[in-house]
Amino acid sequence: MSEHKQTTLPFLLRRLDKGDFDNLVLYVNSLSSETKKRFAPHAFDKQSMIDFYQDNDLLIGYIAVDLETGAIVAYAIMKRGILEHDRSRLESYGLIPDQEQDSTFAPSVADSRQGQGVGSGLLQYIIAEQKITKINRILLWGGVQADNVRAIHYYERNGFTRLGQFEHHGTNYDMILTLS
């Protein structure tokens, strides 16, 4: 049985807002190259992040902020619906994607805060919001790399199950969390 440490520092869970981009740039640029390699829904400069969210009401950013330092310690993106380039792969597993009731999830946690419960706390916050908006399933954005054992355990511990696997720069697993 693996040990799961609880965070000792208080943090605030909330949606990302326009005033957070400077802190978000500091956060993503503090990630190790290994963590950056595993989280890539957008580029890591401020303008790219602003452009990513600009005029896209299907995207919501979420953050966990350390209340002692004000630093962002976790960041996740939710996209209503699925990524269109994933559709045929998801359908090959027998899943019928639903743009209204599915959501796509891309999380990251600061290297120094991994394993402390911050990511699980942020996920539970997001799940509560997704249920209110009638989302029934959450799929991983681009899957999870098969060699990222720590992340796979995190997803499984939080109720995700494997749909199947695919090859893209190595083996990856598509995973899903059913909410209803």
19 lies in some domain: yes
Phi-psi sector, 117: left (phi>0), alpha (psi -120 to 50), beta: left
Location of structure tokens 């208080």: 10
Q: Residue 147 falls within a domain, yes or no?
A: yes
Percent of the chain whose pLDDT exceeds 90? 81
- Whether 6 maps to a domain, the answer reads no
Rounded CA gap, 79 and 135, in Å?
A: 11
At residue 9, the pLDDT reads 55
Interstrand relation of 171-178 and 137-140 (parallel, antiparallel or unpaired): antiparallel
Question: Average pLDDT in the 104-132 region?
Answer: 93
Residue 1 falls within a domain, yes or no? no
Examine residue 2 and state whether it is found in any structural domain, yes or no: no
In a domain, 49, yes or no: yes
Residues spanned by the domain of 173: 11-178
CA distance 103 to 99: 8
User: How many domains in the chain?
Assistant: 1
Q: Is residue 169 a part of any domain in this protein?
A: yes
The answer to whether the beta carbons of residues 7 and 121 sit under 8 Å apart is yes
Percent of the chain at pLDDT > 70 equals: 95
* pLDDT(3) > 80: no
In a domain, 4, yes or no: no
Q: What is the CATH number of the domain that holds 171?
A: 3.40.630.30
List the helix and strand counts (H, then E) for the chain: 6, 8
